[in-house]
């Protein structure tokens, strides 16, 4: 079904003007656009009378034509639009798209160039993009710089990860503008091809908080990143200013364009209530509607997989230890297996059995195909074969076994960032998937990008990943991409793009750990672009660290892992731990069996970035509500008000909570399960252990008691 669009209100006017001003539909935001004496375009934004962005520059520079100065405003077109649409999956069954729009037309007094900038002011923030119409004085552009600035009014706190054109797998810093140089310097040393910008820039989605008595929360990102490089932000800590930094290729050019051009939207979500930042759907609203006629093949799901064992045991992705093996040349049936290759037929069947028994739809299998022996060499033009299983992975037998049990095997395509080779083999890879009954793929781009001219977030890679998604849709394949350019809400247009990693994920619990605050900041930052494949569900908190051979632990309680299914919403959610572990904690695993991955409604009950989140969600396919609450490393009492429930209906709440003596460091597996009766008048105080959490299932009493 195509995404439903209901235009309920539209009024438009065009006028000749020398400046532009609009307000948001509720009047809280005011935006003004001007040019200075040099003809340089500027914008400023206020919220409830408080300046948020003060005179900040706009413009684009390229050697063929500069759209930066000498302009005057020659007219504005304004529109009010109020409409509602139905996403294929997500946090809400329906989303309202309500904004005032102003298209500001700039004309150059000297060069004759024309540039339009489209501004949309919503009740939750601002989006704007450059639109370069077809014109006589310019056709091709080699984009060197986008001049967009975000000049703030004070020493706001930034919740940020450092700039890097190739990776976003960092922990966040919470730091005022004045402390950014020192904070960013601490990120030196994790190798990537573009480490050099770590000390001067930050990545988006970025969150800022003002130091006012009633602070403002400001989320800065982009929407609809298509045909353009990803944007980071150069920090000027003295001026309290951020400016666009477009990822260049290795020739130093950011984008190659032909007019007409629509850039991605630059987005600012602003509120004096932190919960509004989480609830905002503005980025999805700025993306184009779903581009597919039929979406019936797109099915949200939970999955288990041959995965976590490669992180916390000696199991390997590779079949052998022979680093000279060459996919397509070496006969793998003649080389010596290493004896601990995880993706073998018998082991995969174990996961299929577990999934079938527990109503889990998918089983991911990593390490099934030729190429893993030297996968991090980044030296080979052909690293992996996407249609050649290792000798101990019987793809046909597993297809039948899984189908008989009603389980889907999820394909894995690690590319080792050799995007060029993947693109060459995409049709072959997807046909092979379809021939063997697969309808979902996890892709990966670990390492140094090939073509070697490119970074992970450069224009070429942005277009590569979009091509993969569109091609996948031709084959009716759903995609979960890792190490791809950060999401910008394109899952609205391409709903088969179920999730991305694009941040430091749960896997880091096996490499030193993610402090509990990490999952209290990701929903305010990374998740504003779209769902994350965070891979929650660690029940065996202590594990063997394969890097140093010592005993290690994840920074979480067991109950917190359950809450993450609510606080990190995604239409594809892993239960990452081992079947035998879940069997040991079967009563707690019941929550993972039950929890949906697609929602009719969402209410953020409590939230403060980097500290805590409490959220309630209504299942799209039943009348059950679920709550997830998490805290940072401090103990906390969540105040849960059940007034979101319909009046007069009795419910039973099953509470999965930290035991009174639980603590994420010293006693992480201590949990309790209890039930209470609740209705719309109930209010409870719910204790969360340090680093802990609570997950609640709320079912109508007559159903729960059956
Ligand atoms: C990094 C991904 O994030 C992880 O999930 C995957 O298992 C490895 N790459 C290997 O592809
Ligand atoms: Ca990763």
Could you tell me if 253 and 142 are in contact, meaning their C-beta atoms sit under 8 angstroms apart? yes
Question: Is 366 touching ligand 1 by the criterion CB < 6 Å?
Answer: yes
Longest dimension (CA), the chain: 78
d(CA 122, CA 97): 8
- Joined together, the tokens standing for residue 517 give 């605050």
Q: Of the given ranges (68-77, 127-136, 185-194, 476-485), which has the lowest mean pLDDT?
A: 185-194
Contacts of 247 (CB under 8 A, 6+ apart): 165, 229, 230, 231, 232, 254, 455, 457, 458, 459
Atom of ligand 1 at shortest range from CA of 505: 3
d(CA 441, CA 517): 30
Task: Evaluate if residue 678 carries a pLDDT over 90.
Answer: yes
Prior bond of 593 cis (ω within 30°): no
Each residue's pLDDT tens digit, 237-249: 999 999 999 999 9
Bridge partners (DSSP) of residue 218 are 208, 270
Q: Of the given ranges (189-198, 277-286, 449-458, 622-631), which has the lowest mean pLDDT?
A: 189-198
Nearest ligand by distance to the CA of 307 = 1
CA 590, 596, 597, 601 torsion-angle sign: negative
Closest residue by CA, ligand 1 atom 7: 307
Task: Evaluate if residue 703 carries a pLDDT over 70.
Answer: no
Nearest ligand by distance to the CA of 576 = 1
- Joined together, the tokens standing for residue 698 give 């709320």
Could you tell me if 409 and 306 are in contact, meaning their C-beta atoms sit under 8 angstroms apart? no
In the DSSP assignment, the letter for residue 263 is P
Q: Of the given ranges (192-206, 355-369, 581-595), which has the lowest mean pLDDT?
A: 192-206
Each residue's pLDDT tens digit, 459-506: 999 999 999 999 999 999 999 999 999 999 999 999 999 999 999 999
Atom of ligand 1 at shortest range from CA of 482: 3
Ligand 1 pocket test, candidate residues 417, 482, 500, most atoms within 8 A of CB: 482
CA 463 from centroid of its chain's CA atoms = 18
The arithmetic mean of pLDDT across residues 276-288, rounded, is 99
d(CA 467, CA 411): 18
Question: Is 414 touching ligand 1 by the criterion CB < 6 Å?
Answer: yes
**Given this model, what pLDDT does residue 10 score?**
78
The arithmetic mean of pLDDT across residues 64-80, rounded, is 96
Task: Evaluate if residue 48 carries a pLDDT over 50.
Answer: yes
**Given this model, what pLDDT does residue 706 score?**
55
d(CA 220, CA 207): 6
In the structure, what pLDDT confidence band is assigned to residue 641 with cuts at 50, 70 and 90?
Answer: very high
Rg (CA), the chain: 25
Ligand 1 centroid–CA 166 distance in Å is: 15
**Averaged confidence pLDDT in the chain:** 96
CA 603, 516, 412, 589 torsion-angle sign: negative
Contacts of 363 (CB under 8 A, 6+ apart): 303, 304, 305, 306, 348, 351, 352, 355, 402, 407, 408, 409, 410
Pairing label, strands 408-414, 149-151: unpaired
Nearest ligand by distance to the CA of 483 = 2
Pairing label, strands 362-365, 408-414: parallel
Question: Is 482 touching ligand 1 by the criterion CB < 6 Å?
Answer: yes
Pairing label, strands 265-271, 217-223: antiparallel
Ligand 1 centroid–CA 226 distance in Å is: 25
Could you tell me if 148 and 266 are in contact, meaning their C-beta atoms sit under 8 angstroms apart? yes
**Given this model, what pLDDT does residue 705 score?**
58
- The number of C-alpha atoms within 13 Å of 401 and in the hemisphere containing its C-beta is 19
Bridge partners (DSSP) of residue 135 are 138
**Given this model, what pLDDT does residue 704 score?**
63
Task: Evaluate if residue 4 carries a pLDDT over 60.
Answer: no
Bridge partners (DSSP) of residue 599 are 619
**Given this model, what pLDDT does residue 435 score?**
98
Could you tell me if 673 and 695 are in contact, meaning their C-beta atoms sit under 8 angstroms apart? no
Atom of ligand 1 at shortest range from CA of 310: 7
Closest residue by CA, ligand 1 atom 10: 414
Ligand 1 pocket test, candidate residues 170, 303, 364, 366, most atoms within 8 A of CB: 366
Closest residue by CA, ligand 1 atom 6: 444
Question: Is 507 touching ligand 1 by the criterion CB < 6 Å?
Answer: yes
- The number of C-alpha atoms within 13 Å of 23 and in the hemisphere containing its C-beta is 7
Atom of ligand 1 at shortest range from CA of 414: 11
Note the pTM of the prediction, 2 decimals.
0.97
Angle at 276 between CA 272 and CA 281, to 5 degrees: 140
Question: Is 195 touching ligand 1 by the criterion CB < 6 Å?
Answer: no
CA 414, 419, 425, 426 torsion-angle sign: positive
Prior bond of 237 cis (ω within 30°): no
Question: Is 169 touching ligand 1 by the criterion CB < 6 Å?
Answer: no
In the DSSP assignment, the letter for residue 195 is G
Q: For residue 5, how many other CB atoms are within 10 A of its CB? A: 12
**Given this model, what pLDDT does residue 18 score?**
81
d(CA 384, CA 380): 9
**Given this model, what pLDDT does residue 471 score?**
98
Could you tell me if 519 and 692 are in contact, meaning their C-beta atoms sit under 8 angstroms apart? no
Q: What 3-state DSSP class applies to 663?
A: strand
Nearest ligand by distance to the CA of 480 = 1
Each residue's pLDDT tens digit, 88-117: 999 999 999 999 999 999 999 889 999 999
In the structure, what pLDDT confidence band is assigned to residue 190 with cuts at 50, 70 and 90?
Answer: confident
Residues annotated as part of the active site = 507
Question: Is 168 touching ligand 1 by the criterion CB < 6 Å?
Answer: no
d(CA 364, CA 604): 31
The arithmetic mean of pLDDT across residues 58-80, rounded, is 97
Question: Is 367 touching ligand 1 by the criterion CB < 6 Å?
Answer: no
Q: For residue 507, how many other CB atoms are within 10 A of its CB? A: 18
């Amino acid at each position: 079904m195509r995404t439903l669009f209901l235009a309920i209100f539209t009024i438009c006017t065009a006028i000749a003007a020398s400046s532009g001003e609009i307000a948001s539909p509720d009047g809280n935001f005011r935006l003004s656009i001007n040019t200075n004496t040099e003809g340089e375009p500027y914008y400023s934004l206020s919220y409830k009378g408080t300046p948020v962005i003060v005179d900040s520059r706009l413009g684009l520079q390229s050697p063929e034509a500069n759209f930066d100065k000498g302009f005057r405003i020659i007219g504005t077109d304004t529109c009010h639009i109020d409409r509602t649409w139905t996403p294929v999956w997500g946090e809400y069954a329906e989303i309202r798209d309500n904004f005032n729009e102003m298209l500001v037309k700039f004309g150059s007094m000297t060069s004759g160039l024309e540039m339009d900038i489209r501004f949309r002011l919503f009740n939750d923030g601002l989006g704007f993009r450059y639109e370069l119409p077809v014109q006589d004085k310019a056709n091709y552009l080699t984009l060197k710089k986008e001049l967009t600035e975000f000049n703030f009014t004070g020493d706001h706190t930034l919740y940020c990860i450092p700039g890097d054109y190739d990776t976003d797998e960092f922990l966040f810093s919470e730091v005022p503008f004045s402390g950014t140089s020192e904070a960013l310097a601490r990120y030196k040393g994790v190798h990537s091809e573009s480490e050099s910008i770590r000390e001067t820039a930050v990545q988006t989605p970025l969150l800022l908080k003002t130091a006012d008595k009633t602070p403002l929360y400001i989320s800065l990102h982009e929407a609809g990143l298509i045909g353009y490089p990803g944007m980071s932000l150069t920090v000027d800590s003295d001026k309290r200013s951020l400016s666009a930094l477009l990822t260049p290729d290795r020739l130093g050019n950011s984008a190659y364009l032909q007019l007409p051009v629509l850039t991605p939207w630059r987005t600012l979500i602003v509120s004096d209530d932190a919960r509004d930042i989480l609830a905002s759907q503005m980025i999805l609203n700025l993306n184009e509607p779903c581009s597919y006629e039929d979406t019936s093949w797109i099915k949200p799901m939970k999955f288990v997989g041959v995965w976590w064992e490669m992180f916390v045991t000696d199991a390997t992705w590779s079949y052998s230890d022979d680093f000279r093996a060459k996919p397509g040349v070496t006969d793998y049936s003649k080389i010596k297996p290493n004896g601990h290759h995880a993706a073998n037929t018998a082991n995969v069947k174990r996961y299929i059995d577990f999934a079938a028994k527990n109503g889990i739809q998918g089983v991911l299998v990593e390490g099934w195909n030729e190429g893993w022996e030297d996968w991090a060499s980044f030296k080979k033009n052909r690293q992996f074969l996407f249609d050649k299983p290792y000798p101990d992975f019987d793809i046909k037998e597993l297809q039948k076994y899984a189908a008989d049990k009603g389980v889907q095997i999820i394909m894995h395509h690690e590319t080792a960032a050799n995007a060029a080779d993947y693109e060459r083999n995409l049709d072959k890879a997807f046909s092979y998937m379809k021939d063997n009954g697969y309808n979902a793929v996890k892709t990966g781009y670990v390492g140094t990008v090939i073509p070697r001219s490119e970074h992970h977030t450069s224009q070429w890679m942005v277009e590569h990943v979009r091509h993969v998604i569109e091609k996948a849709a031709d084959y009716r394949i759903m995609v979960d991409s890792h190490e791809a350019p950060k999401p910008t809400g394109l899952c609205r247009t391409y709903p088969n793009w179920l999730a991305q990693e694009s941040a430091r994920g749960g896997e880091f619990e096996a490499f030193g750990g993610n402090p509990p605050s990490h999952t209290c900041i990701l929903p305010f930052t990374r998740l504003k672009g779209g769902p994350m494949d965070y891979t929650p569900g660690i029940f065996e908190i202590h594990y063997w660290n394969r890097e140093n051979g010592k005993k290690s632990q994840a920074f979480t309680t067991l109950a917190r892992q359950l809450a993450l299914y609510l606080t990190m919403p995604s239409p594809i959610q892993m239960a990452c731990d081992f079947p035998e572990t879940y069997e040991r904690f079967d009563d707690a695993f019941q929550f993972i069996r039950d929890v949906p991955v697609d929602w009719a409604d969402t209410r953020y009950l409590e939230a403060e970035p980097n500290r805590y989140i409490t959220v309630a969600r209504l299942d799209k396919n039943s009348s059950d509500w679920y709550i997830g609450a998490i805290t940072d490393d401090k103990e906390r009492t969540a105040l849960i008000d059940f007034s979101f429930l319909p009046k007069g209906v009795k419910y039973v709440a099953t509470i999965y909570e930290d035991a009174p003596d639980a603590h994420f460091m010293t006693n992480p597996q201590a949990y309790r399960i209890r039930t209470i009766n609740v209705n719309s008048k109930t209010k409870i105080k719910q204790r969360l252990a340090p680093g802990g959490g609570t997950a609640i299932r709320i079912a109508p009493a007559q159903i729960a008691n059956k």
